[in-house]
Amino acid sequence: MTAGHVPLERALAVSTSMLAAAREGHWDSLPGLDAERQPLLRAGHPHDTRSRELLQQLLACNEEMLDLAARARTEVTDALGRHGYAHQALRAYVDLAG
């Protein structure tokens, strides 16, 4: 690793932490980690094989995080739908009983 790769190396480390948090469902921690990662991604880096490898690893982390976020969004949408049906059933029961 050269000094020029340090920002990308650190960005990958933060991305790995973000991915671990996403896997655990700790979505609230991601914005803070992303705020730490953004300046590292904007820092200059050499245009070489090592940078390409690091960027590919970063992209892989991002893709998995996006997949996890999509699944979590679907789960929340489904849960809200079930809650809505339960609420409707309860309301119908109360209306019939009262």
Q: What is the pLDDT of residues 19-54, one digit of tens each?
A: 999 999 999 999 999 999 999 999 989 999 999 999
pLDDT at 1 over 60: no
Task: For 63-97, write each residue's pLDDT tens digit.
Answer: 999 999 999 988 888 777 776 666 666 676 666 77
Q: Which two tokens stand for residue 74?
A: 């679907």
Residue 94 lies in a domain: no
- DSSP code per residue over 19-44: HHHHHTT-GGGHHHHHHHHHHHHHS-
Write out the residue range of the structural domain in which residue 47 sits. 3-72
User: pTM of whole model > 0.95?
Assistant: no
Residue 98 lies in a domain: no
Residue 89 lies in a domain: no
Residue 54 lies in a domain: yes
Residue 87 lies in a domain: no
Residue 79 lies in a domain: no
Residue 45 lies in a domain: yes
Q: Give dist(CA 24, CA 26) in Å, integer.
A: 6
Residue 90 lies in a domain: no
Domains held by the chain: number: 1
